Amino acid sequence: MTGGRRFLAKVYVSLKPTVNDPEGNTIAGALGALGFNVEGVRSGRFFQVTLDAADGPGAEKQVAEMCSRLLANPVIETYTFEVAEVQTNRLS
Amino acid sequence: MTGGRRFLAKVYVSLKPTVNDPEGNTIAGALGALGFNVEGVRSGRFFQVTLDAADGPGAEKQVAEMCSRLLANPVIETYTFEVAEVQTNRLS
């Protein structure tokens, strides 16, 4: 069931606010040592997923399922994403 | 030199397109095995930095410097960021 259109999804995964973030704390400390006025840093992950789908809502549904099944850990992480169609140069 | 206003910067760091991305390739393979129509995945990092600055342009200048000095590796990565002021409830 290959869809006819191509989409690029940008997925942002971050730790829930109550979860401890040692990587972010380390980066905040390093930025402070470099002289920046940093109050805090939260670290996360960023994925650019290229996928095929029949239409925009279909692509969004697929991406939401990817997030909940593989890309994010729902116990400690939250995710947001945005999906945009990619123009391909295929002859139609 | 603590600035008077607080800003939240969202920083997106990704590998340059020509750089090999084993993590992204592994995720793309796993998504394909789950039945998704994925053409490719590029992995990256996402930081939310809370900082103090005198004004918006000052905050953007600080964040650009953080990226080039610590958050991204300019040899293999590119970065983008967006900065927005955070409303605090301080009594003025």
The string of pLDDT tens digits covering residues A49-85 is: 999 999 999 999 999 999 999 999 999 999 999 999 9
Interface ipTM: 0.86
| B45 vs A69: CA distance, rounded Å | 20
Residue A44 touches chain B, beta carbons under 8 Å: yes
Spatial CA neighbour of B76 closest among B29, B36, B22, B31: B22
Instruction: Walk me through the domains of chain B, giving residue ranges and CATH numbers.
Output: 5-19+35-85 (3.30.1280.10)
Helices marked H in chain A — which ranges? Answer: 22-33, 56-66
pLDDT of residue B20: 96
Q: How far is CA B79 from the centre of its chain?
A: 6
Assign A90 a pLDDT band (cuts: 50, 70, 90). low
Terminal alpha carbon distance of chain B: 19
Return the residue of B nearest to A62 by Cα.
B36
Mean pLDDT over the full length of chain A: 92
Task: Dump pLDDT digits (tens) for B14-68.
Answer: 999 999 999 999 999 999 999 999 999 999 999 999 999 999 999 999 999 999 9
For residue B3, the chain A residues in CB contact (below 8 A) are 37
Helix (H, G, I), strand (E, B) or coil at B7: strand
Helix (H, G, I), strand (E, B) or coil at B49: strand
